[in-house]
Chains A and B, each alone.
Chain A
Amino acid sequence: MNVSSLTIAFTLAWRNLWRNYRRTLIMLLAIGLGVWAMVFMTAMMRGMVDGMLKDGIRALPGHVQIHHPNYLDDPSVANSIAEPQGTLLDALNHPQVDAWAMRVKVPAVISSERETRGVMLLGVDAAAELNLSFDISHITQGQFLPSLTEEELAVDVQAQKAAKGIVIGVKLAQKLETRLGKRIVVMTQDIDNTIVDRGFRIVGLYQSDIPGFEEMYVYSDRRLIQSMVGLKGQVSEIAINGDGYRDNQALLSHIANASPADMKVESWRQVDAYLSAMLEMMDGFVLVWIVVIFLALSFGLMNTLIMAVFERVREIGLMQALGMRSSGVMRMILIESLLLLLLGLAAGNICSLLSIAAIQDGIDVTAVAEGMAMFGAKAVLYPVLQYSDMLLANVVVIVLGLLTSLYPAWRAAHYDPIVALNKH
């Protein structure tokens, strides 16, 4: 193969493409539409799942988490870690860390005067938790826990009352048949496995986009819970957020390097297997989605190329008679296919970028929001274009497109020149 034979193959491929311009335009429309569907619909699905993941990760795990090495297997108070100090505290306050919070997290039983439920009791620092995970707009009645220092708490009686309160989910309140301002009792095991209980006044009710979250998690002051379960100076976990949830290796290393040996630093993927599986499923689904659309496209592509070859049997025979090798004929047909694919890809990519830009502020899916909520999705969807998805769509279309074109190209390359020249 030399440059000039490649040039003539490109020239012929390009001009042949426009001999039947209607057919080429229809095929370009089909490829463009397919690519648009691949990229745009993937961005919408990504947006939906991304929202669910961000909410899920933000809600509790954080991007990176520090805990006792045995905590994930046995999340009891016995598997606690010391509150951060020294090098670890410095690492947590480093600019690489966006937000962090330490928590005491113990399984508990919550009782109103009518009902009893199993919950997860979270002892949190209000300011840190609001910064890291809790969205204050989710409070529907009352307030979140007060963000006060120990000195402020010592002198402020009202703050003391609020700090002794508890924030529970709206749905949990409904199940317990209780309401804001009422007292409930929380019962759990302390560090010595002794049953301890304590009365709390409900100071706030919250709602969550995450299914089941409202019924499971209740918030109270960390110091209060530490005192209740006998965990002075100890916490169950430290949750940390960095730039984003996808690539958190740098953050993980940064924290791991500063952590004592008796603490384990893990990514949210290890901490929350469900969310991790959801992301993996989404990545797999994107590939399946792209391939399925391509399969529909491939029939049209193959048909177009077979027709194009069939119409040019004599010319192909002539080229072979003049000395073009079979590989040259194949190259010419494959270049024609490549040009068709590249033009279709360009059209599809531009259209998908424009349509994603047009709805960058989100589209309201209230009409189906109830159904979406079942999956933890929000009523407003924001498209999330991942360039890796776009690249995947482009690579799939080019690679599978060329593979699909191999048959017509092979067929063209193996005509008997004499038979081809006598074809009418």
Chain B
Amino acid sequence: MIKVTCRKLRKTFVQGETQIKGLDDVSLSIEKGEFVCLSGPSGSGKTTLLNALGGLHTPDEGTIEIDGDVISQMGASELADLRLRRIGFVFQSYNLIPVLSAQENVEFVMQIQGVDSQERDQRAKAILKEVGLEGMETRLPAELSGGQQQRVAVARALVSEPALILADEPTANLDSATAENLMQLLENLNRKHQVTLVLATHDTRIMGFARRQIRMQDGKIISDEISSGSQHALRGGDPLTASHQEQDF
């Protein structure tokens, strides 16, 4: 079942008199449970694509469907509900709420969803244990290391069991060892929970964790590969129909 489909997305940003193409005729489909890495240099459009998938950017042209719902035509409240119930975000700079403890940060989304307190508590504790933060539930973000904060952010993204997790440079502020640990965690969670994971990065160390790698440049997809173990493959043809063909790059 196709979870995410983008068709001919265009997004242009205007800075003064200059027009910058954030997305230029981008089409792709992402299947349920896929682990996709968007890579490319700064300004290539990977964050813009990620934000568009998350309903944070509205494309100028084209459509985005999640489970058949066209999100590019949704209003602000519908988009907020979509993010609340079906999408989990992991940001570059942790972005935890500083006045809430680790567990409260994890519970935040569930609280807005209206999940009862007992269930919230159980699920938050279980996911914190899963990301290796058992015993740190009451700590405030300021009392956690960068890696621990990012684990809390991952736990928050996962806890409400979204259909799609969007991670924007999740390892950018982490040292190599912590970044690798985090990526192993994301990879394990992707396999275990069958959650669709789209990750934007230009960190070559972590690209290999994703089975499918999409490279972007100047707002366009320039390659779309599927790797199998250590093997890497290039997918060509129509991106909407070729998602499971493994080809040489």
Contacts and interface: CB of A to CB of B under 8 A. Distances in A.
Nearest to B98: A315
A4 B116 contact: yes
B102 to A, nearest CB: 15
Given A2-B114, A12-B100, A19-B99, A322 B56 contact: no
A418 B56 contact: yes
Interface in B93-135: 95, 97-100, 104, 108-117, 120
Nearest to A417: B56
A8 B115 CA distance: 12
A329 to B, nearest CB: 10
Contacts of B115: 4
Contacts, number: 76
A328 interface: yes
A323 B85 contact: yes
A321 interface: yes
Interface string A106-148: 0000000000000000000000000000000000000000000
Contacts of A3: 114
A325 B117 contact: no
Interface in A1-27: 2-5, 7-8, 11-12, 15-16, 19
A321 B112 contact: no
Interface in B156-170: 156
Interface in B50-64: 51, 54, 56-57
Main DSSP-derived SS at the B contact region: helix
A4 B115 CA distance: 7
Interface size class on chain B is 20 to 34
Best-surrounded residue of A7, A322, A326, A328 (most CB of chain B within 10 A) = A322
A326 B76 CA distance: 8
A11 B120 CA distance: 16
A315 B85 CA distance: 19
A291 interface: no
Contacts of B100: 11-12, 15
A421 B108 contact: no
A324 interface: yes
A318 B97 contact: yes
A274 B54 CA distance: 70
B45 to A, nearest CB: 14
A11 B54 contact: no
Contacts of B99: 12, 15-16, 19
Contact of B112 (A8, A15, A314): A8
Contacts of B51: 418
A153 interface: no
Contacts of B54: 321
Contact of A12 (B77, B97, B109): B97
Nearest to A325: B80
Contacts of B114: 2-5
A326 B114 CA distance: 17
Contacts of A421: 91, 95
A411 to B, nearest CB: 15
B56 A323 contact: no
B211 interface: no
A19 to B, nearest CB: 6
Nearest to B83: A323
A236 interface: no
B35 interface: no
Given A5-B114, A11-B104, A12-B99, A321 B89 contact: yes
A16 B54 CA distance: 28
A326 B111 CA distance: 16
B233 interface: no
B112 A328 contact: yes
B83 A5 contact: no
A323 B80 contact: yes
A201 B77 CA distance: 90
A319 interface: yes
Given A323-B85, A418-B56, 13 more contacts: A3-B114, A4-B115, A7-B111, A8-B111, A11-B100, A16-B99, A318-B95, A320-B80, A321-B56, A324-B80, A326-B77, A326-B80, A417-B56
22 contacts: A3-B114, A4-B112, A4-B116, A12-B97, A15-B99, A16-B99, A315-B97, A318-B91, A318-B95, A320-B80, A321-B56, A321-B89, A322-B83, A322-B89, A322-B108, A322-B112, A323-B82, A323-B85, A325-B76, A325-B77, A325-B80, A417-B56
Closest 10 CB pairs of A and B: A323-B84, A2-B114, A15-B99, A8-B111, A323-B83, A4-B111, A325-B80, A318-B95, A5-B112, A418-B56
Interface of A: 2-5, 7-8, 11-12, 15-16, 19, 314-315, 318-326, 328, 417-418, 421
Interface of B: 51, 54, 56-57, 76-77, 80-85, 87, 89, 91, 95, 97-100, 104, 108-117, 120, 156
